[in-house]
Every structure is written in structure tokens, then in C-alpha cells.
């Protein structure tokens, strides 16, 4: 009588590894399509949710497979170990952002002017159904922002508003941001200049909208910046970091240039110095 054939891996042992691999591939595919090919964020979020759900199911099945191996001695230990490692890696990945989630305010809109923030006009047309509202949320966000980011303030400088607007545009170019719309300030009409930017995070490609407003006159200018997430309630601090980055770059550009009024005074003084030797030479010629 022949001995019975050896038993293969159980149903749970086989499928726990398959589901783990499927979940990992699904999450990587969703991130890749969202970053490179512009997959809509809600769809990418749904695919990521399915991937995390699959990782949880894989862990549960690995427990059932472990119990089966313990009782029957069937093979499949390597499959279970592999599935557990992959599933835990997927489920623990969001925990990397837990300190930021707990330590930073639950806001998705940051601005240097919480009373009258720069508006989203042309860039608002790019927002799809299901995205966050375009209007600033109001005093609730303002209080949280002031407590967490007290350093985010407008830039006020004694330089012409149109000159500051040009320097802001130069700073945006240096940061390689995608300008959607810009409108130069009209000093006679008192209309501020606006630069609207569509920006994305480096790795996941999360979409955010930015508005830069330059107001003032020929002697004084005020520059305000606003950055807001299109999707999601918690930005993990990325809008505040973007506002700081833009303000820092604008200040760097300003410090590397000479104000127009100062340059004009320098030219006038240079011309005056050149005129003095000429007048002296002419006087000497007359005396001769």
C-alpha cells in the first residue's frame, strides 16, 4: 500500500502571500499613476485604501495559516513569513507620518493674511468635484495657524509694488513652479498683482494651489502668500513649508538686487560727479 501523497500548502497559506503581493503592487501602481500620469487623487486614494485593506486581510489569513501548520504540519511557512513582512511594511508605512499628524494642526490652508487671504481665481477652475473648497475656512484655521506657525507673516518693504511683483515672479521661476495665471499690479487703479501657481509634492504628487499677491504703491509694497491643498483635511505641514520656501526665495532675490529708487539716486550722483570735473575743466580753459 502506497503512503498518501504529502499535503501541499493550505488555502490560507497560498492566498495570504498572493494577497500581500497584490496589495503591494496595487499601492505602488496607484502612486506611480498619480505622480506620473495625473491619476485623479480620489481614485488614487480609493486604490490605496483597497491596498491597505488587502494587507489587513493578508495578516488575518496568515494567522489562520499558522494555526493550520501548527496542527497539521503542512508546508507554507515561507509563504506566511513573506506575507507578514510585506503586509506589515504596507500597514506601518502610514505610521511614519504619525508624529506630523499628531504634532501639527489639522489644517490644509496656510496664508500670510488670514483676514483677507489672496484669492484663488483662475486656478480654482482646475479643481475637480470632490476637492476642498476654494474659500478660506476662516477664523478656526487662523487660530490654529497662528499657534503653530507664528513666523508666517507678510513681507512689507519700501519698494515699488510693480518692482516687487517682478522680483516675486523671478523667485517663482527659480523655484521652478508652474504658473497658471499672473496679472501685474495696476498702481493707478489700486489693483494688486496676482500670481497663481499649481504645485505638486515631489514623491506622491499631491496637488496644492498657491497664490501670491503684491499690493501697494510706488513707495511701499506688501506681499502675501497662500498655499492650500486640493484634497485632504490634514496637510502634514507641507503648505506651511511651501509658504516659507517662497518667502525665503523672494527675500533672497530682493537682497540680490538694488532697489530702483536707490539705483536712480546712484545714477544721479554718478552723473553729478562726472559733471563736476567737466565744469572745472571748462573754468580752467576760460582762465587760460
Structure-block grid coordinates of residue 151:
513666523
The structure's pTM equals 0.81
Compute the distance between CA of residue 146 and CA of residue 179 in angstroms, rounded to an integer.
28
Which residues lie closer than 8 Å to 131 by C-beta, 6 or more apart?
Answer: 41, 230, 231
Average pLDDT over residues 80-105: 92
Q: Give residue 9's pLDDT band: very low, low, confident or very high (50, 70, 90).
A: confident
Residue-wise pLDDT for 145-172, tens only, equals: 999 999 999 999 999 999 999 999 999 9
Q: What is the largest CA-CA distance in the chain?
A: 139
The label of the residue with cell 509694497 reads: 221
Q: Is 258 exposed, middle or buried, given 0-12, 13-18 or 19+ CB atoms closer than 10 A? A: exposed
Q: What is the DSSP letter of 186?
A: B
H-helix or E-strand containing 249? helix 238-255
| Residue 7: predicted pLDDT | 64
Q: Is 98 exposed, middle or buried, given 0-12, 13-18 or 19+ CB atoms closer than 10 A? A: exposed
Q: Are 63 and 80 in contact (CB under 8 A)?
A: no
Which residues lie closer than 8 Å to 167 by C-beta, 6 or more apart?
Answer: 250, 253, 254, 257
Residue-wise pLDDT for 19-28, tens only, equals: 999 999 999 9
Q: Are 214 and 193 in contact (CB under 8 A)?
A: yes
| Residue 152: predicted pLDDT | 97
CA nearest to 161, candidates 247, 226, 224: 224
Average pLDDT over residues 172-201: 94
Average pLDDT over residues 195-199: 96
| Residue 257: predicted pLDDT | 85
Residue-wise pLDDT for 24-52, tens only, equals: 999 999 999 998 988 999 999 999 999 99
- Strand-strand pairing, 193-200 and 178-183: antiparallel
Please determine, for residue 178, whether its predicted confidence score (pLDDT) is greater than 80: yes
Q: Is 178 exposed, middle or buried, given 0-12, 13-18 or 19+ CB atoms closer than 10 A? A: exposed
The label of the residue with cell 519700501 reads: 158
Give percent of the chain with pLDDT exceeding 90: 68
First to last CA, the chain: 139
Helix, strand, coil fractions of the chain, as percent rounded to 5: 55, 15, 30
CA nearest to 120, candidates 213, 42, 201: 213
Compute the distance between CA of residue 110 and CA of residue 225 in angstroms, rounded to an integer.
8
Q: Give residue 286's pLDDT band: very low, low, confident or very high (50, 70, 90).
A: very low
Compute the distance between CA of residue 24 and CA of residue 166 in angstroms, rounded to an integer.
47
Q: Are 178 and 198 in contact (CB under 8 A)?
A: yes
Amino acid at each position: 500500500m502506497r503512503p498518501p501523497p504529502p499535503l501541499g500548502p493550505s488555502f490560507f497559506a497560498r492566498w495570504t502571500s498572493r494577497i500581500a503581493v497584490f496589495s503591494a503592487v496595487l499601492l505602488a501602481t496607484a502612486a506611480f499613476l498619480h505622480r506620473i500620469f495625473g491619476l485623479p487623487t480620489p481614485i488614487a486614494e480609493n486604490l490605496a485604501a483597497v491596498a491597505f485593506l488587502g494587507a489587513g486581510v493578508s495578516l488575518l489569513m496568515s494567522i489562520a495559516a499558522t494555526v493550520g501548520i501548527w496542527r497539521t504540519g503542512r508546508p507554507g511557512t515561507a509563504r506566511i513569513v513573506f506575507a507578514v513582512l510585506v503586509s506589515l511594511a504596507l500597514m506601518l508605512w502610514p505610521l511614519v507620518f504619525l508624529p506630523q499628524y499628531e504634532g501639527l494642526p489639522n489644517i490644509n490652508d496656510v496664508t500670510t493674511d488670514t483676514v483677507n487671504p489672496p484669492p484663488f481665481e483662475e486656478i480654482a477652475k482646475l479643481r475637480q468635484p470632490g476637492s476642498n473648497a476654494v474659500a478660506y475656512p476662516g477664523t478656526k484655521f487662523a487660530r490654529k495657524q497662528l499657534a503653530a506657525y507664528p513666523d508666517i507673516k507678510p513681507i512689507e518693504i519700501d519698494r515699488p509694488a510693480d518692482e516687487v511683483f517682478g522680483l516675486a515672479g523671478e523667485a517663482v521661476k527659480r523655484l521652478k513652479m508652474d504658473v497658471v495665471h499672473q496679472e501685474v499690479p495696476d498702481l493707478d487703479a489700486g489693483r494688486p498683482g496676482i500670481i497663481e501657481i499649481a504645485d505638486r509634492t515631489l514623491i506622491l504628487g499631491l496637488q496644492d494651489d498657491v497664490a501670491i499677491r503684491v499690493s501697494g504703491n510706488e513707495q511701499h509694497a506688501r506681499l502675501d502668500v497662500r498655499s492650500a491643498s486640493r484634497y485632504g483635511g490634514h496637510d502634514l505641514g507641507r503648505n506651511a513649508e511651501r509658504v516659507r520656501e517662497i518667502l525665503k526665495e523672494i527675500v533672497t532675490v530682493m537682497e540680490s538686487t538694488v532697489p530702483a529708487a536707490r539705483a536712480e539716486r546712484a545714477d544721479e550722483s554718478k552723473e553729478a560727479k562726472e559733471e563736476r570735473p567737466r565744469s572745472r575743466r571748462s573754468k580752467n580753459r576760460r582762465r587760460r
